[in-house]
Amino acid sequence: MFKSKVESRSWNFFNWSYFCMGMASLTALTVVALLFISRLNQGKSSGEIVVYIQDLTQVIVAAMKKRKEVAPQDTGCLLAAVHRVEELKCIIRLLPIWAAGILHVTSHSHQHSFGIIQARSVDRHLSHSFQIPPASLSIFSILTVLIGLVLYERALVPFARRFTGNPTGITCLQRMGIGFVVNILATIVSALVEIKRKAMAAQHNLLDKSSAVIPISVFWLMPQFCLHGIAEVFVSVGQLEFLYDQSPESMRSTAAALYWIAISIGN
């Protein structure tokens, strides 16, 4: 169903591309907010995406209206129509894998909401005078992604290549599959930590005191952030590479747009 295509070492572009995005996120969390620049970039590409979606929608509508008509004799019009139809078929073929990525994003989206609430309720002190800001816990996830990408590129790929003979070590779908297993583990760990947190709150009669500090270290929350970071190394990068690799050259920007749409829906 899906083609297998490896062009020189273009596959590792996605690892380093995601690494750079992780560095940017880390910088934004620790040094300066880069929201203004990112909004400018989003505004530039959103118009192109809207136009493309309109084109594909027109293909669907035209196909429904003219399903009983005879094909036109104009070769130019016919080729253009066939091209659009093939692009639409390509997108439809990718939708199941694309939709699976939404679940991955949904499972760790709580890190930026409920995870902050959890962090606010526990002991965050590293010293008598300094405590970790609740929203900064995402640093642990980002650092895991950065370290994980380097280890994946430098250690896992060469090791797996010995057994699979695949220049990329494992396929995109295998990479995503491993990530989903780690994702499930991360979700289980998150649930167990929350059970522990609530049990400690009940033990000290703090369940109804929203501003109270539960006597449990913030580092209990670290495993779930780190595991979600590992899952991101496999699922997010694997999905981005898959969508790009399985799309015709004329649709690769659309494939990248689909990736970010999945992230927005998951969140």
Q: 51-70, pLDDT tens digit by residue?
A: 656 666 766 776 676 666 66
Amino acid (1-letter code) at residue 90: C
Residue 4 resides in a domain = no
Crossing angle between the packed helical segments 138-151 and 12-30, to the nearest 10 degrees: 150
Q: Which helix (H) or strand (E) holds 123?
A: strand 122-123
What range defines the domain where residue 142 resides?
Answer: 13-266
Query: What pLDDT score does 81 carry?
Result: 65
Residue 160 resides in a domain = yes
Q: 15-26, pLDDT tens digit by residue?
A: 777 777 777 766
Query: What pLDDT score does 93 carry?
Result: 85
Number of structural domains the chain divides into: 1
CATH code, domain with 136: 1.20.1250.20
The DSSP string of 49-80 is: HHHHHHHHHHHHHHHHHTTTSPPPS-HHHHHH
pLDDT at 50 over 50: yes
pTM for this prediction: 0.73
Coil, helix or strand for 32? coil
- Residue 8 and residue 168: Cα distance in Å, rounded? 10
| Residue where the block lists tokens 């940017």 | 24
Query: What pLDDT score does 37 carry?
Result: 42
Residue 3 resides in a domain = no
pLDDT at 177 over 70: yes
Over the range 217-254, which residues count as b (16 or more CB within 10 Å of their CB) and which as e?
A: ebebbebbbbbbbbbbbbbbbbbbbbbbbbbeeebeeb
| Residue where the block lists tokens 């780690």 | 182
Q: 187-226, pLDDT tens digit by residue?
A: 999 999 999 999 999 998 888 887 888 888 999 999 999 9
